[in-house]
Amino acid sequence: MLTREKKEEIVKRLTEELKESKAVVFTDYRGIKANDINKLKKELKNSGTNLQVIKKNLIELSLRNAKLDVSVREMDGQISIIVSKEDEVAPAKILTNFAKENENLKILGGILGKEEMSVKEVESLAKLLSKEELRAKIVGSLKSPITGFVNVLSGNLRGLVNVIKAIEDKKA
C-alpha cells in the first residue's frame, strides 16, 4: 500500500514528465509475461522513453495538474503510461511493433504535444519516419548533388586524359 506522501511524490514526478513530454502513449499490458515487459522497457529506455505502471487515479491527477484535457478513467485494463521527452514517433513505433509480436499489448490512445490521440492516430504516428531516419534522408538529399557534381568533374578529367592518350598513340 502506497502512503499518501509516496502518492504525492509519484503525482508530482509524473506531472513534471507530462509537462516536458513530446508524446505519451497509454497501453493495456494485461496478460504480458514479465520477461516481455522487461524487454519492452529496455527497448523504450534505449530510445529515451519511459514506461511506468501507475494507478489510474494518480495518472488522472497528473494529467489534470499538467493541464492536459485527457482522461484515462474510461480506458479498460491495466494501464501503463509511456512518456517520451525526446522523440514524438519512437514510443508509438516501438509499441506498435511490440504489439504485432505480442497480441496482449493493446494501445489505448495517447497525447501528442497537448492534444489527445486516438488508437488510430497513434498507429498512424508509428508509420512516420523517426528523427534518425529523417536526418539520414536529408543528409542523403544534400549529398546527392555534390556527389553528382564530383562525378561530372571526374568524367571531364577522364575524357581529357583519354584525348591526350589518343593523341599520344596517334603520334607514336
- Position 107 scores a pLDDT of 92
Give the H or E element holding residue 143. helix 131-171
pTM above 0.85, yes or no: no
Mean pLDDT of all residues in the chain?
88
Q: pLDDT tens-digit profile of 118-148?
A: 999 999 998 888 777 778 888 888 877 777 7
Q: C-alpha grid cell for residue 135?
A: 536526418
Nearest 5°: phi and psi at 105? -80, 125
Q: pLDDT tens-digit profile of 7-21?
A: 999 999 999 999 999
CB 74 within 8 A of CB 67: no
Q: Tell me the C-alpha distance between 116 and 25, whole Å.
A: 10
Q: Give me the sheet containing 79-84, strands edge to edge.
A: 49-53, 79-84, 23-28, 106-112, 115-117
The more confidently predicted of residues 2 and 67 is: 67
Radius of gyration of the chain (CA): 26
At 110, is the pLDDT very low, low, confident or very high (cuts 50, 70, 90)?
very high
Q: How far is CA 118 from the centre of its chain?
A: 17
Give the H or E element holding residue 26. strand 23-28
Q: How far is CA 82 from the centre of its chain?
A: 11
Q: How many CB atoms lie within 10 A of CB 71?
A: 14
Architecture of domain 4-128: 2-Layer Sandwich (3.30)
- Position 161 scores a pLDDT of 81
At 159, is the pLDDT very low, low, confident or very high (cuts 50, 70, 90)?
confident
The more confidently predicted of residues 10 and 155 is: 10
- Position 12 scores a pLDDT of 94
Q: What are the sequence ranges of the domains in the chain?
A: 4-128, 129-172
